[in-house]
Amino acid sequence: MQRIVYSATDVSARAFLILAFRKAGLDVRADAAGNLFGRWHPGGVFPPLTDDGEPAPVRVAGEGAVATGSHFDAIPGSGIYDGTVGVLGALAAVTALRGAGYTPAVPIDVVAFTSEEPTRFGVSCLGSRLLAGALAPAAADALVGTDGVTLAAARADAGYTGPLDDVRLPDGAYASFLELHIEQGARLESAATPIGVVTAIAAPAAGWANFSGGGGHAGGAPMASRSDAALAAAEVALAAEAAAVASGGDGTVATVGVWDVSPGAVNAVPAAANVSFDVRDPDGGVRDAVVAAVRAAAEAAAARRGLALDWSVVSADPPASSDGGVVSAVEAAAAEAGLRSMRLVSRAYHDTLFMARVARTGMVFVPCRGGVSHRPDEFVSEAHLRGGVEVLARSLAKLAGR
Amino acid sequence: MQRIVYSATDVSARAFLILAFRKAGLDVRADAAGNLFGRWHPGGVFPPLTDDGEPAPVRVAGEGAVATGSHFDAIPGSGIYDGTVGVLGALAAVTALRGAGYTPAVPIDVVAFTSEEPTRFGVSCLGSRLLAGALAPAAADALVGTDGVTLAAARADAGYTGPLDDVRLPDGAYASFLELHIEQGARLESAATPIGVVTAIAAPAAGWANFSGGGGHAGGAPMASRSDAALAAAEVALAAEAAAVASGGDGTVATVGVWDVSPGAVNAVPAAANVSFDVRDPDGGVRDAVVAAVRAAAEAAAARRGLALDWSVVSADPPASSDGGVVSAVEAAAAEAGLRSMRLVSRAYHDTLFMARVARTGMVFVPCRGGVSHRPDEFVSEAHLRGGVEVLARSLAKLAGR
Ligand SMILES: [Mn+2]
Ligand SMILES: [Mn+2]
Ligand SMILES: [Mn+2]
Ligand SMILES: [Mn+2]
C-alpha cells in the first residue's frame, strides 16, 4: 500500500481520522500543516459533537497537556502498521481509559502527524518539525515535491491554507509526549519480549562524499598516474566501518549505502564516485566524531589520490533522549499489564525525535514479525497490538494524573 | 561515427575495401567470417583484375607470407582512426613499395579483420580469433548479438555463408604479421616520439566478484551482525590496487571499474555488490598471480563478513610478446626513415594478440592527440600518419625479403 501526504488517499485518511476522533469524544482541530489533534478535555468535559462541517480550530494553550500519536502516511510498497499503529492505538488507549472510568487531570491529545515519511518532499517528519520549530515555515512552504508541486500549493489543495507560522506549538503546550510504534527491527522478537521501552533516538547524520578525477583506460593508465575515484570511496566506506566499531558509543552504526561510480565500465578507471554516508548514535557527540573521522578519511584519500572532493552533510539532527520519568512510567505500566519489557535505542527517525525538543518524551515499541517493515508483508500480531495499547493507556494515565 | 560488424555501414566499407584492394593490384579474397585479404604476389606478378562479380576465393597456402592489417569496425561514438589507420595504412604501404620498384620475395597480404570491437557480439577480435583457431567455429556461429541475431545469421545476411571451419589459417600461412595502429595513450606524445615499437600486448584477465548478504536497515542492523556486500567489494578493489603495485611486473595494472551495489539506498546496508576486475601485464604469469591475489582477497572478505561470493573469470587470453626480429626490423625501419622510436607495451587488445599465435608479430604505434581514442575527437596528424606508413613499408620490405 501507499499513502502519500496530501494525495487523495491521505486526504481520505484525514476524513476518516476526524470522524474517528469525534466518535471517541475528542475535540478535533487541524493546523496549517495538516497535523490533526483530538483533545480529551480534563474532567471528562467534552464539547458537543457536530455532524457536519469542519471543527473550528482551537489553539493549544500552554497548559501542560499530555500527547500521544504517530504518523499515518506510508511509503510506496509499505505495510499497514508503520505509524498507523501509533495513531489508532492512541485512539484505542483513550477510549479504553474512558471506558475504565479514568478522567485525566490535564488534557490528553491524540496527534496524527503530517508526512513523517520523506516520500513526496524529501524531508522526514514535516509535521513534527514544524510543531517543534525545527523547520522554518517559509522553507517548508518552498519545498518542491516529486511531482513538481510546492508544499504550499499541495497543502492548500488538501484544504490547509493558513500560515505555517501558526503551526509551532506554544512553549509548554505539552508536558509529555509518548509514541506507540512498531519496532522495525527484530530485537524484541529475538528476546521474546512484547514491549520495548525506547531510551533514545539515534538520529542519523547523513550526506555525500563525491570524488572526481581524470579517469582513463584500464589498460592505458599506469597505476602511479591514476586518480581512481572509486578507490577513494572504498577507503571512506572502510574508514566509516572502522570508526563506528571503535567509537566507544552505544551501538554506533555507520553505512555507505549508495555507490554511484562512473563511467562504470570494466575497462575504464572510475572518474567519479559519489557515495552516501549514514552515521547514527544516541549520543550526538559520538555520532559527530564518527562523521568527522569519515570526513578526515575522505579528505586524506582525495589528497593522496589527486581527486576533487565535494563533501556535503544533508542532515544531522540532534539525537533525542527519552525522559527518565516517561521511561519509568512505561516500565511500570508494562509491569502492571503483566508484560515483559526491555530498553531499546531507536536508530530510525520518528516524530518523537522532534517532539523531544518541546516536551518530555518516550516511545513504546511492539514487535513486528521478522523485524520486517516498509514492505507489504510487515505484520504485527493482535496480541502484540493489544499489549502495546494497554501499556500506552496505563502510561498515559500515569502521565496525565488522576 | 560507428561501424558495427555486418551492419549496412560495415558491408559498405567492405565493398569500398575490395575495390581499393583491387585498384592497388591485390588479389582479393574473403573468408567465411568476412575477413578480407588482398595479396601482393611475389615477383610483381598480378592476376588479371575483373570489374564485376566477387573475386573467387583463393586459399592461403603455407608459404611463409608476410601480412599486415587491422580492423575497420568502430564502436558507437568513436573517431575515424582506431583500426582504419592500420588497414588503409597497409594499402598505402604496399602501394608505396610498388611505386618504389620493390618486389617482395614472398607474398604480402593486406588483412582487414572482422569485428575487432566486441560491440555487437560481446567478444573482441572475432576475425583474428577464428583465424588463429582461438575460438571454436560452432561457438562463434552461436554467438547472439545485441539485436538478438546470431552471428551465423548475421554473417549470412552480409554475404558470408561458408562454414567457419574454413577460416582458420593453415600452419605457416604467415611467417610474420605487423599491425600499424594509433597508440590510444599519450606516451608517444609525452615523449615527443613519432614511432612506438610494441614489444608485448598485455592482454587483460577480466571478470566479476559478486557478493551477496542479508542487507538490513542502516539504523537497525548493528555493526557486528552485518554482512555488508559493498565493504567486501571495497576490500577487493583496494587489494587489486595493492597487488598490481606490488606485482614486480612491467607496469601491471588492475582496475575495478563497475560497482553495482544494491539496494543502493542511503539508509540500507548493501545486500549485494557486483564488481568487475580487469588485470593486465605483458607477462601472463604475473597477471595471473595478481588475479589470484584479488580472488584470495575476495574469498577472505566473503568468509570474514559472512557473504556469498560468486567469482567468475570472463576472459584471460594469454599475453603476446612481439618477435625480436620483427621489433628489430621496425626499429631499423624507423631509423632509416629518420624517425625517433621508443619501445612500448600495449595494454589494449589488438588483432595482433591472436595473430601472435600463428605468426611472428609486431606492432607500430603512431601518436594520437592527447591519447584520446574511442571518442569523436580522436585525432592523428598527417605527419604522424605518413611516418607510420613509411615505417610500416620499410619494415614489410625487410620482412618480405628482396
Ligand atoms: Mn516509515
Ligand atoms: Mn514510522
Ligand atoms: Mn577500439
Ligand atoms: Mn583498434
Domains and CATH numbers, chain B: 8-202+319-399 (3.40.630.10), 204-316 (3.30.70.360)
Quick one: pLDDT at residue B128?
Answer: 98
DSSP letter (8 states) at residue B150: B
CB-based burial label for A222 (10 Å; 0-12, 13-18, 19+)? middle
User: Per the CB < 8 Å rule, is B241 touching A221?
Assistant: no
List, in order, residues 6 or more apart from A345 with CB less than 8 Å away: A198, A199, A200, A201, A202, A250, A251, A282
Q: Which phi and psi angles does B167 have, rounded to 5°?
A: -75, -40
Quick one: pLDDT at residue A46?
Answer: 42
pLDDT band at B153 (very low <50, low <70, confident <90, very high): very high
Q: What is the overall mean pLDDT for chain A?
A: 92
Quick one: pLDDT at residue B63?
Answer: 65
Quick one: pLDDT at residue A54?
Answer: 47
pLDDT, mean of residues B151-170: 96
Ligand 3 center–CA B330 separation, angstroms: 23
Ligand 4 center–CA B123 separation, angstroms: 14
Here the contacts of A157-164 (C-beta below 8 Å, separation 24 or greater) are A157/A6, A158/A6, A158/A10, A158/A11, A158/A14, A158/A34, A159/A11, A160/A30, A160/A31, A160/A32, A160/A33, A160/A34, A161/A32, A162/A31, A162/A32, A163/A32, A163/A137, A164/A32, A164/A33, A164/A130, A164/A137, A164/A138, A164/A140
pLDDT, mean of residues A127-135: 97
Interface A–B counts its CB contacts (< 8 A) at 160
Q: Give SS3 for B59.
A: coil
Half-sphere exposure of A114 (CA within 13 A, CB side): 28
> pLDDT tens-digit profile of B30-74?
999 999 999 998 864 444 344 444 444 344 444 689 999 999 999
Quick one: pLDDT at residue B402?
Answer: 60
User: Per the CB < 8 Å rule, is A347 touching B217?
Assistant: yes
pLDDT band at B204 (very low <50, low <70, confident <90, very high): confident
In the predicted model, is pLDDT for residue A104 greater than 70? yes
Quick one: pLDDT at residue A19?
Answer: 95
Segment holding A82, helix H or strand E: none
Half-sphere exposure of B340 (CA within 13 A, CB side): 8
Nearest to A41 by CA among A50, A55, A28, A30: A28
Considering A48-57, A276-285, B385-394, the range whose residues carry the highest mean pLDDT is: B385-394
Helical H runs in B117-164? 126-131, 137-142, 151-157
pLDDT band at A158 (very low <50, low <70, confident <90, very high): very high
Beta A272-280 vs A204-212: how paired, if at all?
antiparallel
Give yes or no for a contact between B205 and B284, defined as CB atoms under 8 angstroms apart: no
Quick one: pLDDT at residue A72?
Answer: 98
Q: Which phi and psi angles does B342 have, rounded to 5°?
A: -140, 155
Quick one: pLDDT at residue B55?
Answer: 42
> pLDDT tens-digit profile of B161-191?
999 999 999 989 999 999 999 999 899 999 9
Closest ligand to the CA of A182 = 2
pLDDT band at B270 (very low <50, low <70, confident <90, very high): very high
Instruction: Tell me which residue in B217, B268, B348 faces A184 most closely, judged by beta carbons.
Output: B217
pLDDT, mean of residues A170-197: 95
Quick one: CA torsion of A355, A126, B220, A259, rounded to 10 degrees? Answer: -150
User: Per the CB < 8 Å rule, is A258 touching B273?
Assistant: no
Helical H runs in A273-323? 284-305
From the CA of A312, how many Å to the nearest CA of chain B? 14
Cell matching residue A113: 502527524
Closest ligand to the CA of B74 = 3
pLDDT, mean of residues A139-149: 94
**CA separation, residue A172 to residues A169, A340, B161 (Å):** 8, 33, 88
Q: What is the overall mean pLDDT for chain B?
A: 92
Nearest to A199 by CA among A106, A297, A98, A322: A322
Give yes or no for a contact between A39 and A187, defined as CB atoms under 8 angstroms apart: no
Quick one: pLDDT at residue B119?
Answer: 86
Cβ atoms within 10 Å of B64's Cβ, excluding its own? 16
Closest ligand to the CA of A119 = 1
pLDDT, mean of residues B287-313: 97
> pLDDT tens-digit profile of A22-75?
999 999 999 999 999 999 988 644 443 444 444 443 444 446 899 999 999 998
DSSP letter (8 states) at residue B165: G
Beta B195-201 vs B308-316: how paired, if at all?
unpaired
pLDDT, mean of residues A111-139: 95
Quick one: pLDDT at residue B116?
Answer: 95
Instruction: Indicate whether this complex's ipTM tops 0.95.
Output: no
Give the mutation candidate from A75, A183, A260, A267 for the B interface (greatest B CB count, under 10 A): A267
Beta A360-366 vs A174-182: how paired, if at all?
parallel
Give the mutation candidate from A82, A184, A266 for the B interface (greatest B CB count, under 10 A): A266
In the predicted model, is pLDDT for residue B388 greater than 50? yes
List, in order, residues 6 or more apart from B72 with CB less than 8 Å away: B3, B10, B13, B17, B83, B84, B87, B112, B113
Q: Which of A30-34, A126-130, A175-179, B347-351 has the lowest mean pLDDT?
A: B347-351
Give yes or no for a contact between B223 and B305, defined as CB atoms under 8 angstroms apart: no
DSSP letter (8 states) at residue A213: -
- Distance CA(A15)–CA(B299), nearest Å, equals 57
From the CA of B366, how many Å to the nearest CA of chain A? 15
More reliable by pLDDT, B233 or A41: B233
**A231–B contact, CB cutoff 8 A:** yes
% of chain B surpassing 70 pLDDT:
95
**CA separation, residue B124 to residues B71, B75, B388 (Å):** 11, 11, 25
Which chain B positions have a beta carbon within 8 Å of A222's beta carbon? 251, 253
For A194-242, list the strands marked E by DSSP.
Answer: 195-201, 204-212
Quick one: pLDDT at residue B107?
Answer: 93
DSSP letter (8 states) at residue A295: H
Quick one: pLDDT at residue B43?
Answer: 60
Cell matching residue A99: 471506558
Quick one: pLDDT at residue A49?
Answer: 40
- Distance CA(A34)–CA(A105), nearest Å, equals 27
- Distance CA(B159)–CA(B6), nearest Å, equals 9
Q: Which residue of A has its CA nearest to B219?
A: A347
Quick one: pLDDT at residue A285?
Answer: 94
Ligand 1 center–CA A82 separation, angstroms: 6
Nearest to A379 by CA among A43, A80, A94: A80
Quick one: pLDDT at residue B203?
Answer: 82
% of chain A surpassing 90 pLDDT:
80
- Distance CA(A360)–CA(A399), nearest Å, equals 10
Position of cell 548475421? B154
Q: Which of A22-36, B68-82, B186-200, B208-222 has the lowest mean pLDDT?
A: B208-222
What is the maximum alpha-carbon separation in chain A? 82
Half-sphere exposure of B278 (CA within 13 A, CB side): 25
What protein residues have CB closer than 5 angstroms to ion ligand 4?
B 82-83
Give yes or no for a contact between A63 and A107, defined as CB atoms under 8 angstroms apart: yes
Which chain A positions have a beta carbon within 8 Å of B261's beta carbon? 257-259
Cell matching residue A318: 540532534
Cβ atoms within 10 Å of B283's Cβ, excluding its own? 17
Question: Where does residue A143 fall: left (phi above 0), alpha (psi -120 to 50 degrees), or beta otherwise?
Answer: beta
Cβ atoms within 10 Å of A142's Cβ, excluding its own? 11
